Structure 1
């Protein structure tokens, strides 16, 4: 894992950079199966994978060790609480209501204590009339206590529900703002499994936090009220002993809880990684199965995916064992102090007998004093339980607060390459002086690149000083070997990736449409696929328009298939299975139908016809031309040259060459290429505009 500097005002920070993301993105342009290669795990690949897993595990342990039970944890919790109470009226009312319930429950419990003393007295005296009256009164007070307890739990559940709604929507709004989710995955490795943090972590945190809030409200009331009663009935020594007993318990829990926080944080991450690994296997099940068929049946080898799953699970189990051991220590101390409480209670009551101030204690007084001491101890036990819950709560605090912090930082940051002093590697000092400028001019209908240079987060140059002008009605084909920067250039033009030198002027985002090699199909109907990124709430397409659109590429049978699905009432297939039901070629044609419906000025296509036959490819590009859509394509097929006017060729030596394509010949194999511009990496020649 490398690091990259971040320019944020006058401050310079260092954050981890996801370098593998760039490599995977670039390689995906050359191989659609590169994301899900299954098959046998060779000894070398297993060794490499094991080594990578070891490094990743060591990194994870380092990050987890930074999350401990300390002041920083408390500050992060305060920050989250401020978000939960950004609109304080309703949550504040609910907390006050919870406080009122806690006061009422404490008072109802005190009535139960008085009832016990009276019952013992009436039983000893044989007063049946008073006994029945006390039992009826006890029925009322215990029923009231049960109702109050249920109402408290209901209120706690509603508070947790509102907190989850507030916190989840807050993070989601930031996560989806200006494609922040992509920037986090592309340029930052501090957030593992963001899906887990937004879904299960927030749910667990708000539920646990609401329970802790209830205990924190009820605990002080119980402790304060019964401290007064024990002091009034027995003197200062009774509450003092109980206080000292539970302070000792808190210190013991604190000693064990600090390392448990780090272990729990790491366990949450490992659980998310293990779940994601199996999710990935489910997503690419067909590719993995097909690749596994190429294995030599005479060689006994384990599947790569199985080997990875075993290694990940072994690491998870190892850390889970540590968590269980530390949890055992925490549970032991918590339960020990809870079970010793009655013994301490009777010891306190017996102190007057030991020191000789009293020879006997009335049975009714023993009952009242014992009940008051037990209730005071139970109040402190709630605090002990809170400390046990905080070990779990702290893990969620760390993960959620880190998510918020990274979202805020990435949203405001500009990236610069790592400082290195080798050939073709940029110096960070140099980059700080010049950061690429991306300018959006809604009125313009052209894309201008002026001396644009791009460097990977490792600081390595992909291309330098590219200058070109793509006007409306023109077309550009970008070719080159894998890893030469073709896909990077497309993403830079689209504004998805930052660049570090030069200037780009482009039209408004709605005038540009991006098509990837692997189309994105949402959960929804075919109409919703075409409308995307809009929803049917904002736009609709008539059935006739849908039929005309799909027949354009001979896909009318998909509409018939959807009609049959609706007729069967199988809505699950309608909303979830299009990705699995369509071939790669059909998926790419769906993305082109989406393009033709939205009619942008420019279409940026990254291997978008790789799964389409050349005969259909010709129809696709002709349809774009007929609708006046200018195409900027990344591809490997030589047949693509006949659909474009200019060819930009990149190589791995950071050179580029721009040529006009002469399509006057009917045979596209004989298309002439006329060089118009290039760069010379040896003499650092500046390019000129087209």
Structure 2
């Protein structure tokens, strides 16, 4: 990769990183991981043992067995989760096709004999089976391509489901996107790179699925006619071609990888333009955005040009060897001919022998040429394999670490005393309306700092030795200047960030409905119906989603039309029912045009009124609605009996809370009662 390309890529990545720094400037990660990731220079991705190791790991997913069924089991469940039988059928069709190819290849030699002897009767009886054979091989070839399409489709399905399940495990996506900068554009790797990998694998498998076996067979047939000299010529031809292909493949692997990386960056830039179109228009920022888009496009085109340039010598070598094969086949057959092996044969017999044996030599050369021609596809496959495997390896690392933390948390929850980096829960089976008076969230001697700050690799202390107990029915406001860590404290509560010291304990957790619901400043509206919006997420858990594989699907959560209308009334959105076709009509981007920012926040509050959680956490959740509506929502939540934990800059909202936690920076904080307005704790 040239210095200019490295600079362009670095600039593009820096701009992309700038775009995802959050409002509190404490979006962070594990320090060790980030330092390692930030210090990485662009890698060289090679066609080497690491590639084969990664390819083998991906293939294990495609041909996986489980504890119940091996991959070769004929049970429906096993066949749904493995490519094995599809591959076997693929191989069978390929063998049948090669047999038909051999018989079709022998047709010209028979015609030479018939035509040179002018045998009309034999010609008439031979032409019909020849036509049938050609028709059958055409069907077989079409079936082979059809099976190849199914192979690619199934490979994409299995890989996507496997990676998607890992990616969307509890907190895994958040951890990947905030801590592992080396994994660029995971969305592209899942949606595009897997598809390209599957299609490239199909093309390679279609051409090479039984090539090694056929090479052995045609080597034997060629040796029977020409002796060892014929195969020796062909194998020398293949070795030279392989060397040249290997030499030209190596630079392509790296170029393909970084080209796909920049494809993702270019797509991401245009997605942001669409998402922030109004802000850009208000600021008249089109010229600046055009310059950034042009810079990103220039980087992408530079990589594409590199691939085109480096493919040229590879194509020259491959095409030269392909056409050279036709000449080489006649050179090989000339050896026994000029040595007198076929002396005594008449013209018709000699024509038949030359035709048959030249086909054998040409087909052996064709097999080797086909293998060489796959070199450019193999370079693409290596690039896609690197990108998919990097994502897989990182997700496995994240999920293994999360599983270990869950096991440790379960052990710690049975012990008493202070715990490091832990959030404990104590479950009860009753709903919050019948909750025991001991139900509470307890911050016990918590010290919290940002896992990192981008570019500076420094931790910023949020709170130190923080102690607070929030009982059911109470309301707590968290205030402080921008960047003081208000949202960071909520991240620790949600177990998105670990505590440096101490523990956060959630007692009286309910197994019915939602235990805690978080509402951010910008509500997340799903691609779905209004009915689905109101019950999102429809997978209630009793421990805030941690260490719990059980989920309730949306089909098991029922909400009637009357309940939908009642919820809309509670959040002053009854008019919304007249703007949509039905409560079950699916909308995506349309939600942004149907609802103003304030209406989206109101719709998010409807989820609280539906789930009736024990604890409600609000992060500037009413910033886009008027003061009267904000006060109405807070009073409604108190009537509901839910405990309120709020982050807000609005004094009128802060005054609605019983307790005020003020974060003052550098680990200092104060806690005061809103009724007496005197400090209870100052650190």
Q: Same fold (TM over 0.5)?
A: yes
> Which deviates further from its counterpart, 512-521 or 323-332?
323-332
- Counterpart CA distance in 2 for 1:281 and 1:185 is 20
Encode CA deviations 1:623-657: one digit per residue, 9 max, x unaligned. 10000011111111111222101111112333211
Partner of 1:528: 532
Equivalent of residue 545 in structure 1, options 546, 563, 571: 563
Q: 1:177 Cα shift? A: 1.0
Partner of 1:660: 673
Superposed, 1:142-161 pairs within 5 Å as 142-161=134-153
Q: 1:186 Cα shift? A: 1.4
Equivalent of residue 348 in structure 1, options 326, 332, 342: 332
Superposed, 1:225-236 pairs within 5 Å as 225-236=217-228
- Counterpart CA distance in 2 for 1:158 and 1:208 is 13
Aligned residue for 1:462, secondary structure, equals: strand
2:521/2:622 contact within 8 Å kept: yes
Encode CA deviations 1:42-79: one digit per residue, 9 max, x unaligned. xxxxxxxxxxxxxxxx98993341x2110011001111
Q: Does 1:374 align with 2:362?
A: yes
- Counterpart CA distance in 1 for 2:171 and 2:592 is 22
Encode CA deviations 1:494-528: one digit per residue, 9 max, x unaligned. 22222221111014483111000000011122221
Partner of 2:471: 471
Partner of 1:408: 396
Equivalent of residue 289 in structure 1, options 281, 293, 312: 281
**Unaligned 5+ residue runs, structure 2?**
1-13, 28-36, 66-70, 73-78, 404-417, 429-437, 453-457, 539-552
Q: Does 1:483 align with 2:483?
A: yes
Partner of 2:422: 437
Partner of 2:379: 391
Superposed, 1:215-226 pairs within 5 Å as 215-226=207-218
Equivalent of residue 187 in structure 1, options 179, 182, 196: 179
1:455/1:500 contact within 8 Å kept: yes
Q: 1:434 Cα shift? A: 8.6
Q: 1:22 to 1:147 in 2, by over 3 A?
A: closer
- Counterpart CA distance in 2 for 1:549 and 1:104 is 64
Aligned residue for 2:534, secondary structure, equals: helix
- Counterpart CA distance in 2 for 1:19 and 1:461 is 23
Aligned residue for 1:62, secondary structure, equals: coil
Q: 1:375 Cα shift? A: 0.8
Q: 1:171 Cα shift? A: 0.8
- Counterpart CA distance in 2 for 1:481 and 1:220 is 69
1:455/1:463 contact within 8 Å kept: yes
Encode CA deviations 1:143-190: one digit per residue, 9 max, x unaligned. 121111111111122222222221111111111111211111111112
Aligned residue for 1:469, secondary structure, equals: strand
| CA RMSD, Structure 1 to Structure 2 (Å) | 2.6
Aligned residue for 2:424, secondary structure, equals: strand
Superposed, 1:80-159 pairs within 5 Å as 80-87=58-65, 88-89=71-72, 90=79, 91-159=83-151
Superposed, 1:247-646 pairs within 5 Å as 247-292=239-284, 303-352=287-336, 362-413=350-401, 435-443=420-428, 445-456=439-450, 457=452, 458-507=458-507, 508=509, 510-534=514-538, 536-562=554-580, 565-566=581-582, 574-646=587-659
- Counterpart CA distance in 2 for 1:25 and 1:390 is 44
Q: 1:450 Cα shift? A: 1.4
- Counterpart CA distance in 2 for 1:620 and 1:532 is 19
- Counterpart CA distance in 1 for 2:602 and 2:195 is 39
Q: 1:218 Cα shift? A: 2.9
Aligned residue for 1:413, secondary structure, equals: helix
Partner of 1:62: 41
Q: 1:388 Cα shift? A: 2.1
Partner of 1:75: 53
Q: 1:204 Cα shift? A: 1.4
- Counterpart CA distance in 2 for 1:112 and 1:620 is 80
Q: 1:180 to 1:360 in 2, by over 3 A?
A: farther
Q: 1:385 Cα shift? A: 2.5
Equivalent of residue 199 in structure 2, options 207, 223, 234: 207
- Counterpart CA distance in 1 for 2:42 and 2:338 is 55
1:253/1:387 contact within 8 Å kept: yes
Partner of 2:9: none
**Unaligned 5+ residue runs, structure 1?**
1-15, 30-57, 296-301, 416-432, 663-671, 680-690
- Counterpart CA distance in 1 for 2:248 and 2:535 is 55
1:352/1:358 contact within 8 Å kept: yes
1:208/1:393 contact within 8 Å kept: yes
Q: 1:481 to 1:74 in 2, by over 3 A?
A: same
Equivalent of residue 163 in structure 1, options 155, 165, 169: 155
Q: 1:19 Cα shift? A: 8.5
Normalising by structure 2, we get a TM-score of 0.83
Partner of 1:32: none
1:515/1:591 contact within 8 Å kept: yes
Q: 1:139 Cα shift? A: 1.0
Q: 1:540 Cα shift? A: 2.2
- Counterpart CA distance in 2 for 1:490 and 1:304 is 35
> Which deviates further from its counterpart, 149-158 or 253-262?
149-158
